[in-house]
Every structure is written in C-alpha cells, then in structure tokens.
C-alpha cells in the first residue's frame, strides 16, 4: 500500500512523467492521473472538440478537500494549474499543454433561498439544473442559452443572457464566490468591491470579488458561487425561421425594431446552413434560413399581456414579410427558455469568430448579408447577431471588472468541418466576414462569445487590467494559475 510522506497509509497520486517520484495523499480519495491512466480521459473531456487538452496530469475534484490536495500537489510538483468544467470555452482559452488540469464537479445540490432571492451553486453545475430549481419558486437567473453549459465559467466570463437587456451582464448578479487559492486556503469573496482596491463587504473580500467577475481568471479554483435571482412569471420565447432569400427585408425590420425595443426583450438573428441529418427538420436543411429567437420577460402575471404585445411588435412585421417555415414562439414558464436557442447537446468542433459591433445601419446589414446570406456560399453553419443595448450598456457601480458592454450587437459565426463545409473553406470565410464588419467593429469582445484562442480578444481597458493583476499578485504571488488567465486580461 502506498504511504504518505509521514508514513501513514494513503491513496497513490501518480506523478506525471518526468516530474519525479510518486507522492501520496493522506487518506484522500483523489485520483490524479497521467496520460493513459484511469481517470485521465474523464478529467480532460471537453465539449469543444477542436481544443482537446493534453495536460501532464488531470483530476476530477468533487470536494473542497480534494481541491486543496490537488493544489498542494501542483505546488510540490512545480505544475501550473488549469481549471475547467464542461469545456464549452476550451477553444477560446490558452491551449492546455502540460500542467495539472482540474475538472470541477463539486458535490451537493443547488440551494435556493427564495426569501433572499439567491442561489448557491456548486462549481460544475450546469445551467439546466439551476433554472429548474429556481423555477420551482417562481424565480430565474441570468442564465446562458444552453442548459449544458457550466455555471461558473459563464458567470465569471460576463455572461450574455436572453434576459440580459433587462438584467445586464450575468457577472453582475454574482454575490459571492468560494474558491481555493494557491496557498491552499478556502476563501469567500463577497462585498461590493465597487472601485479598485475597495472592500466594503462585511467579512468578505470585495476587491477579490470585483476581480473575479469578468477579470479573466487565474485567481484559484472556484468551488461555489452565490448568484442573485429575480421573479419570472412567464416568458414569451421561441424561434421563427424563414428561407434566407427573405433575409434582406427581415434583417432590416429586425434591426429597426431593435432601435426602440423594450428592455424586457432580448433577441438574436442568425443565418443557418444546417446539414441534412435525421434530427434536423427538413424545412431547415433545404437551404439557408434566417432564424430569429429570443425572449420577452414577464416578471409578474400582470406583465404577461404586455410581454405578449411586445413580442408581437417584433414578430408581426416579420411574419407579414413572409410566412415562417417554422414558428415556435409561445408563452411558457422560465424553464422553457432553455430550448429556445437550439444549442447542440453533443460535443462538437466549431471553427468560429466573434466581435462586438456598433450601430450597423442599413449599410452594415448589407455588408453582413453579402458574406453570410443567401447566394454568398457561406460555409458557416450559423452566423449572426445578438441584440445588446438596454441594461447591458449600463455601468453597474456594484459590478465587477467587466460590468457592462457599450456595443449595440455581438456578432458570432462558425462552421463545423464535415457538416457545413471543409476546414479550409471555413477558415477562409472567417476573415472575409471580419473584414466586411470592420467599419462597425467596436474593438472589444464578450469573453464567453470568443470562439478561438488566436482571434483578437480584449474586454478590459489598461487600468482595469492593472488593477486585476494587483489582485492576482495578492492571492497567487507565484503564478500557479498564470496559464488559466484569458488572453488580453493580464500584463504579468
């Protein structure tokens, strides 16, 4: 039986090749695996198949003690630490080559406090579980469009929700973060931290909480978050699709509506080139289609009629231009919003690009359709715009390092090799679209929408980066988590 350095029985923690002699954990249940060893594949699995990690060692951590043990092992071994959950964001992060990769799957349920309107969410939880737990109390959260995306990465990366024009960036809803830092200590970051260096929360670390919310990572291993909830009685949500030949009129009408749209409404519009597969409806795979989806929030039962009318102000003119070939818009409960965007449920390789845009005008709409619309021969399986503005643009005085976006739209587009085109065709199209949109480029990105590590990234100004780095230097002076920082978010 393996023994610890103190001579007590323990569970063997295999050292990565070349890292030295094996060590043991004092009676722990943690398995740190190297390539080819049991547990390595489960710990390194990612949703984004174009960025499969290749760490020197990996582990799934389910308790705070396991996290502390893994961090201690990394320090003793001289291994930098990376952290992930589902790997939806893997292609946008720094490539994982060497080091210790931790997959957080923290045990415990989602806890809802309906009086305080707060949810405590263990790291590793997916959005579907949180939305369903909150809905039982007539509440919801500024969640992502996919039920399988991990909560922590989305929240701390900013988070663009279909409630976002009413609620702002999802990161602003984070009330506390529990994390194990490089010294192995479990910390709880709370308080407002509204300005650089501030710590106004009783018993918390408001400065650390400020940096965690949108600061770009590299602070430690998050084990849980507390996030604010808000009341939702009903949601008017769904998707409508038209043959892309109608896209010029439809997209102009959508853009015109966005200029005065109510904050309760957040939508997106995409041109889809879907393959002929069994799970794709024939009317969607017959050729490119324009896809308009989103949500209108009704906070109380008294707001439902107004929300339905607001949805009608968008959909009525669009339906008048041409009858949709698919129309799923309906009034439903908050859990129904999880199905709206039709995100893929299985791991997939997407080669894509993203940028934030200022007001487009008709010239911008024309430029976009020329490179992704009908007749463009675009190999992108999905490309289009997310509606911003509203509360997204409002600076939050109690928010984090990233607390608002001034852009009017977010563009994202990507292709799937073998389904929407060849790898070469997709890679050739991305700079064509970027070039067409350059006149309206806001010069920044939304972290959770970044598609590739090598694309231009940047969501923080220089002063904010310097302030965030100062917090990192305090909690991780030796840079144990240095490789876990997103591009453009550090000068270290």
* Residue 382: per-residue pLDDT: 96
**How far is residue 252's CA from residue 245's CA, in Å, rounded to a whole number?**
13
The β-bridge relationship of strands 118-122 and 221-228 is antiparallel
**How far is residue 356's CA from residue 199's CA, in Å, rounded to a whole number?**
32
80, 100 Cβ separation under 8 angstroms: yes
The helix (run of H) or strand (run of E) holding residue 313 is helix 304-321
Q: What are phi and psi of 158, to 5 degrees?
A: 115, -70
* Residue 14: per-residue pLDDT: 45
DSSP codes joined into one string, 294-307: EEEEE-SGGGHHHH
Beta-carbon count within 10 A of 278 CB: 4
**How far is residue 121's CA from residue 105's CA, in Å, rounded to a whole number?**
11
**How far is residue 440's CA from residue 364's CA, in Å, rounded to a whole number?**
7
* Residue 53: per-residue pLDDT: 93
pLDDT tens by residue, the chain, 492 residues:
222 233 222 334 444 443 332 333 444 579 999 999 999 999 999 988 888 899 999 999 999 999 999 999 999 999 999 999 998 878 888 899 999 999 999 999 999 999 999 999 999 999 999 999 999 999 999 999 999 999 999 999 999 999 999 999 999 999 999 999 999 999 999 985 433 333 333 458 999 999 999 999 999 999 999 999 999 999 999 999 999 999 999 999 999 999 999 999 999 999 999 988 888 888 888 889 999 999 999 999 999 999 999 999 999 999 999 999 999 999 999 999 998 988 877 888 999 999 999 999 999 999 999 999 999 999 999 999 999 999 999 999 999 999 999 999 999 999 999 999 999 999 999 999 999 999 999 999 999 999 888 888 999 999 999 999 999 999 999 999 999 999 999 998
Residues 6+ apart with CB under 8 A from 438: none
Q: Is 227 helix (H, G, I), strand (E, B) or coil?
A: strand
* Residue 191: per-residue pLDDT: 86
Q: Is 320 exposed, middle or buried (0-12, 13-18, 19+ CB in 10 A)?
A: exposed
Domains belonging to the chain, first-starting first, are 13-19+27-104 (3.30.43.10), 111-231 (3.30.465.10), 234-449 (3.40.462.20)
335, 234 Cβ separation under 8 angstroms: no
- What tokens were used for 121? 């969410």
What string of H, E and C letters represents the secondary structure of 6-52? CCCECEEECCCCCCCCCEEECCCCCCCECCCCCCHHHHHCCCEHHHC
């Amino acid at each position: 039986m393996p023994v610890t350095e103190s001579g007590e029985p323990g569970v063997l923690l295999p050292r990565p090749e070349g890292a030295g002699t094996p060590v043991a954990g004092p009676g722990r249940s943690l398995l740190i695996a190297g390539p080819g060893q049991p547990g390595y594949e489960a710990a390194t699995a990612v949703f984004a198949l174009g960025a499969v990690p290749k760490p020197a060692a990996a582990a799934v951590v389910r308790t705070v003690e396991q996290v502390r043990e893994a961090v201690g092992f990394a320090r003793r071994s001289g291994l930098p630490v990376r952290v992930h959950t589902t790997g939806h964001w893997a292609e946008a992060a720094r490539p994982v080559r060497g080091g210790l990769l931790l997959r957080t799957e923290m045990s415990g349920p989602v806890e809802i406090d309906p009086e305080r309107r707060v949810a405590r969410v263990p790291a590793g939880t997916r959005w579907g579980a949180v939305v369903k737990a909150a809905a039982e109390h007539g509440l919801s959260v500024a969640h992502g469009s996919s039920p399988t995306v991990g909560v922590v990465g989305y929240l701390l990366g900013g988070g663009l929700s279909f409630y976002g024009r009413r609620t702002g960036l999802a990161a602003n809803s984070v009330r506390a973060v529990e994390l194990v830092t490089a010294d192995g200590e479990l910390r709880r970051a709370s308080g407002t931290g509204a300005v650089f260096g501030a710590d106004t929360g009783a018993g918390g670390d408001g400065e650390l909480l400020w940096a965690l919310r949108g600061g770009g990572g590299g602070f430690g291993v998050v084990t849980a978050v507390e996030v604010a909830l808000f009341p939702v009685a009903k949601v008017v949500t769904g998707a409508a699709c038209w043959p892309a030949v109608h896209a010029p009129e439809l997209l102009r009408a959508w853009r015109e509506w966005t200029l005065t749209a109510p904050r309760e409404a957040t939508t997106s519009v995409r041109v889809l080139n879907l393959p002929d597969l069994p799970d794709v409806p024939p009317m969607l795979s017959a050729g490119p289609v324009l896809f308009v989806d989103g949500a209108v929030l009704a906070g109380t039962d008294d707001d439902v009629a107004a929300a339905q009318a607001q949805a009608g102000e968008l959909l009525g003119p669009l339906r008048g231009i041409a009858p949709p070939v698919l129309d799923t818009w309906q009034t439903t409960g908050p859990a129904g919003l999880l199905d709206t965007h039709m995100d893929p449920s299985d791991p997939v390789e997407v080669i894509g690009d993203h940028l934030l845009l200022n007001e487009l005008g008709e010239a911008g709409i024309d430029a976009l359709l020329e490179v992704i619309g009908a007749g463009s021969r675009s190999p992108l399986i999905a490309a289009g715009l997310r509606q911003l503005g509203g509360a997204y643009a409002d600076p939050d005085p109690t928010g984090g390092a990233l607390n608002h976006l001034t852009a009017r739209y977010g563009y994202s587009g990507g292709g799937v090799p073998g389904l929407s085109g060849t790898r070469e065709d997709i890679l050739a199209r991305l700079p064509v679209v970027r070039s067409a949109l350059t006149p309206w480029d806001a010069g920044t990105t939304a972290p959770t929408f970044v598609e590739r590590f090598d694309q231009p990234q940047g969501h923080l100004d220089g002063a904010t980066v310097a302030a965030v780095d100062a917090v990192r230097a305090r909690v991780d002076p030796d840079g144990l988590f240095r490789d876990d920082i997103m591009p453009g978010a550090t000068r270290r």
